Amino acid sequence: MEKLIITAAICGAEVTKEHNPAVPYTVEELVREAVSAYDAGAAIVHVHVREDDGTPTQSKERFRVCMEAIKAARPDVILLPSTGGAVGMTAEERLQPTELFPEMATLDCGTCNFGDEVFENTLPMMRDFGKRMIENNIKPEYECFEMGHLETALHLAAKGYVPGPPMQFNFVLGVPGCAAATVENLVWMVNRIPAGSTWTATGIGRSEFILAAHAIAMGGHVRVGFEDNLYLSRSVLAKSNGELVNKVVQMAKLLNREIATPAEARAILGLNP
């Protein structure tokens, strides 16, 4: 089986220090969390950034400073900035990190409920995001919160509006208002992806490690991190993103799945070495 790529979603836009004091806001805190995840075995760091007070931002300058600081600490890590940002941001606001020419960026695949809010990703928005990623030579990670999101990504790729196969999908299951984090849903989605494409599973909240176990066994890849889950085990807050990554590494060891280095992850994902 292919080596396991672990992505650490170290921050997100929604969780705060009130939920877990280790949630990073400042540049130094983001670097600390990225380094802890990388050193534990993450090849990819999914980056959201905050102002020092915790307010989510898509500021190009804030992304530049944070991503350069992470790269200075761990030069070979793959950075995957968010173009999802936080609910309510405009498309132009959200697209700012693509101006920094990252290797990868998220591309969210449809409008959906997101807890009590609506996360807007219309087809025109997706076409604009796809165009930007084609122009800037960025490999999208297609974020699918629903079955229909996967169909949308496939449809837009077939029309050439977004980069086509091989594609990297992230099946984010368990967001309140979206598809549940069940193995049936995961298997359904995995069975729909084009040959040669790759996929990652992200389980929200207490489903994080259950979905990770399925993905490890099925040959997919895994995302964990504070964006998705704050607990190492029941009622035990994780002290760092590294603790969450380490738990996946231990699970993979038990199932005889080796962990991909960033170089190996680049080869698996078809990124430039």
Which residue ranges make up the site for ligand KMH (CB under 6 A)?
Answer: 12-14, 82-84, 86-87, 106, 108, 114, 119, 143
Count CB-CB contacts under 10 A for residue 76: 12
Q: Shortest approach of Zn ion to residue 34 CB, angstroms?
A: 14
Q: Shortest approach of Zn ion to residue 13 CB, angstroms?
A: 7
For Zn ion, the closer of residues 82 and 197 by Cβ is 82
Size of the site for Zn ion (CB under 5 A): 1
CA atoms of 201 and 125, how far apart (whole Å): 24
Q: Which of residues 54-113 bind Zn ion (CB under 5 A)?
A: 82
CA atoms of 153 and 162, how far apart (whole Å): 8
For ligand KMH, the closer of residues 56 and 242 by Cβ is 56
Q: What is the dihedral of CA 240, 219, 45, 15, to 10 degrees?
A: -50
Q: Which of residues 151-180 bind Zn ion (CB under 5 A)?
A: none
Could you give the 3-state DSSP secondary structure of residue 100?
A: helix
Label residues 199-209 b or e (16+ Cβ within 10 Å = b): bbbbbbeebbb
What is the number of the residue whose Cβ is closest to ligand KMH?
84
Q: Which of 55, 65, 61 is nearest to 27 (CA)?
A: 65
Backbone angles phi, psi at 96, to 5 degrees: -50, -45
Q: Shortest approach of ligand KMH to residue 114 CB, angstroms?
A: 5
For ligand KMH, the closer of residues 84 and 130 by Cβ is 84
For ligand KMH, the closer of residues 63 and 119 by Cβ is 119
Q: Shortest approach of ligand KMH to residue 82 CB, angstroms?
A: 3
- 244 within 8 A of 29, measured Cβ to Cβ: no
Residue 63 binds what, of ligand KMH, Zn ion, none (CB under 5 to 8 Å, by partner type)? none
Residues lying near Zn ion in the complex (CB under 5 A) are found at 82
